């Protein structure tokens, strides 16, 4: 199969959509151009995943790298982009004051998707860093799109903190390159493969220092604690479709970068230290998420800390290492990419319906919105890792893999913190579902369209199926991915 043509189409389709949206400038045209782009991107990422080569494929004059793990991350991006594009039609129509600017929103949403489709395919770590930086710039405009004071503040905080983190990541990449010069000479092609090949001959201290800088730098972008402070603001203040894309797809890409650098440390023979460092950040992230979820008042802010939780789970899964924990982490990635958008869509519906961000003012949700409210409640059960949904299977698999790892101590911490988060999360929903009646005049009257609930249905069916049936083909794919270049 001609993967170069598929990848070119993957980038050209959204680029053309941006040009047409900005040229036509009509809201309805922008809606459907974005939706058409998302459908095409989803189809292309699915085609790339299904036909992905069994080993790393370098193409595009050496600048493009397609691996099974990279194809998996691309598919998660295409999936979340499609769900967010469906939901955006209903959600953005609830913002009549933004109608004159809707074409700009959709152009930015397509642009955000395009930057996320570029980054996982970069064979040069430096260009990968540039692509990650572009995702930050474009998504910052989306976080501040509604132009309220809190949105602008969140966008600036996002830009400043993530840029500081990425500066550390760049320094780490420079140190990795410098480590290679001791063997390959003062200049050589900076690629993932070359760094992995030369890692055994790099000085041990330099190799591990470079990885720690990359871990902290890209860990800031992932939102791992304690570098997570931008995440609750950005995820809670941006429009709901943007929050879904930030949480469901962007964080995966930064984590892919960390794992690729971790594979370089593995090749250098110091993988135990690297895996342990990633594991510790994952456990800290779970702890911080649990403590903050207990006391949250804002619906989307609670979901932002849930994203911190699940990035911690992924960091623990990759930190454990081994084929079982790795398979659990990959399965967790797709389940989170389905469930978290569903949760943000439900939160967006309720925030617009009740006219508030506070969960204490969202009362008797099921009475007023039986369909959207029920899906939101089921999504809450799923996102906390309860059966019979996909996240339960992936978390159990990670825990099983952890028992076999060099760091089994983290298994018990992870299990305890997940129970804490489940109780806190469901307590918030208990109050919204079965709490007191709304104050007189506080009853919601907003009517939700099919666009507001259809993507929630699609996500719910998928996470239920993945919870009841783990396809054998996926398990084989995960096991194969573990042994090939990431």
Secondary structure in 3-state letters for 240-302: HHHHHHHHHHHHHHHHHHHHHHHHHHHHCCCHHHHHHHHHHHHHHHHHHHHHHHHCCCEHHHH
Give residue 442's pLDDT.
66
Distance (Å, rounded) from C-alpha 467 to C-alpha 393? 6
d(CA 52, CA 63): 17
Matching residue, tokens 């949403």? 109
The string of pLDDT tens digits covering residues 172-209 is: 999 999 999 999 999 999 999 999 999 999 998 999 99
* pLDDT of the residue at 99: 84
Instruction: Report yes or no: 41 and 13 within 8 Å, Cβ to Cβ.
Output: yes
Q: What angle do CA 90, 335, 93 make, to 5 degrees?
A: 5
Give residue-wise pLDDT tens across range 407-455: 999 999 999 999 999 999 999 999 888 877 777 766 787 889 999 999 9
pLDDT for residue 441: 65
DSSP string, 125-147: HHHHHHHHHHHHHHHHHHHTTT-
**Length, in residues, of the chain:** 486
Per-residue pLDDT, averaged over 401-410, amounts to 92
Integer angstrom CA distances of residue 48 from 5, 76, 290: 11, 12, 37
CA distance 467 to 449: 28
Mean per-residue pLDDT of the chain:
93
> Poorest-confidence range of 68-72, 136-140, 293-297?
293-297
Poorest-pLDDT segment among 153-157, 244-248, 269-273, 299-303: 269-273
Residue 1's pLDDT is 62
pLDDT for position 304:
94
Query: Cα(207)–Cα(198) distance, rounded to whole angstroms?
Result: 11
Residues 6 or more apart from 149 whose CB is under 8 A from it? none
The phi, psi pair for 270, rounded to 5°, reads -120, 35
Q: Region 87-94: what's the mean pLDDT?
A: 94
CB atoms within 10 A of CB 356: 16
pLDDT at 179: 94
CA dist 208 and 311 (Å) reads 22
DSSP annotation of 61 reads T
Q: Tokens for 293? A: 């979820």
| Digit-coded pLDDT (tens) for 302-324 | 999 999 999 999 999 999 988 99
pTM: 0.96
108 band by pLDDT with thresholds 50, 70 and 90: very high
Which two tokens mark 378?
């089921």
**For residue 55, pLDDT beyond 90:** no
Rounded mean pLDDT of 119-142? 96
Summarised one tens digit per residue, pLDDT across range 466-479 is 999 998 899 999 99
Summarize pLDDT for 206-261 with one digit per residue, the tens.
999 999 999 999 999 999 999 999 999 998 899 999 999 999 999 999 999 999 99
pLDDT above 70 (res 49): yes
Q: In a 10 Å sphere around its CB, with 0-12 CB exposed, 13-18 middle and 19+ buried, how is residue 461 labelled?
A: exposed
Mean pLDDT value across residues 114-118: 97
């Amino acid at each position: 199969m001609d993967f170069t043509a598929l990848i070119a189409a993957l980038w050209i389709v959204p680029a053309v959509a941006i040009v047409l949206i900005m040229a036509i400038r009509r809201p309805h045209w922008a809606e459907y151009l974005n939706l058409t782009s998302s459908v095409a991107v989803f189809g292309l990422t699915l085609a790339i995943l299904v036909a992905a080569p069994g080993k790393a494929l370098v193409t595009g004059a050496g600048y493009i790298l397609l691996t099974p793990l990279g194809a998996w991350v691309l598919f998660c991006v295409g999936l979340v982009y499609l769900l967010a594009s469906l939901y955006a039609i209903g959600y953005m129509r609830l913002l009549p004051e933004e109608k004159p600017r809707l074409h700009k929103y959709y152009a930015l949403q397509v642009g955000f998707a395009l930057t996320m489709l570029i980054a996982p395919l970069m064979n040069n770590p430096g260009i990968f860093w540039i692509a990650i930086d572009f995702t930050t710039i474009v998504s910052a405009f989306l976080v501040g799109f509604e132009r309220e004071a809190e949105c602008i503040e969140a966008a600036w905080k996002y830009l400043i903190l993530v840029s500081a983190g990425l500066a550390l990541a760049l320094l780490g990449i420079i140190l990795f390159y410098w480590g290679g010069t001791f063997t390959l000479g003062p200049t050589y092609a900076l690629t993932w493969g070359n760094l992995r090949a030369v890692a055994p001959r790099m000085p041990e201290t330099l190799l591990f220092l470079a990885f720690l800088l990359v871990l902290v730098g890209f860990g800031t972008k992932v939102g791992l604690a304690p570098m997570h402070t931008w995440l609750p603001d950005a995820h809670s203040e941006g429009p709901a479709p943007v929050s879904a894309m930030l949480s469901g797809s962007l964080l995966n890409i930064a984590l892919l970068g960390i794992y690729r650098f971790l594979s370089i440390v593995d090749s250098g023979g110091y993988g135990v230290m690297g895996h342990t460092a990633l594991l510790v950040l994952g456990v800290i992230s779970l702890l911080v998420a649990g403590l903050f979820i207990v006391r949250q008042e804002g619906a989307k802010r609670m979901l932002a800390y849930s994203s911190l939780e699940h990035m911690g789970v992924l960091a623990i899964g990759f930190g454990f290492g081994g084929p079982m924990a790795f398979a659990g982490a990959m399965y967790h990635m797709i389940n989170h990419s389905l469930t978290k958008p569903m949760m943000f869509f439900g939160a967006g519906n309720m925030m617009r319906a009740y006219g508030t961000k506070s969960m204490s003012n969202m009362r008797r949700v099921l009475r007023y919105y039986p369909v959207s409210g029920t899906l939101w409640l089921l999504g809450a059960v799923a996102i906390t890792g309860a059966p019979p949904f996909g996240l339960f299977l992936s978390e159990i698999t990670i825990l099983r893999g952890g028992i076999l790892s060099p760091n089994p101590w983290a298994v018990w911490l992870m299990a305890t913190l997940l129970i804490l988060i489940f109780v806190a999360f469901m307590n918030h929903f208990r109050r919204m579902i079965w709490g007191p009646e709304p104050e007189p005049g506080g009853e919601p009257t907003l009517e939700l369209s099919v666009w507001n609930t259809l993507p929630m249905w699609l996500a719910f069916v998928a996470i239920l199926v993945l919870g009841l049936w783990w396809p054998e083909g996926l398990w084989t794919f995960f096991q194969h991915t573990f042994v090939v270049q990431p």
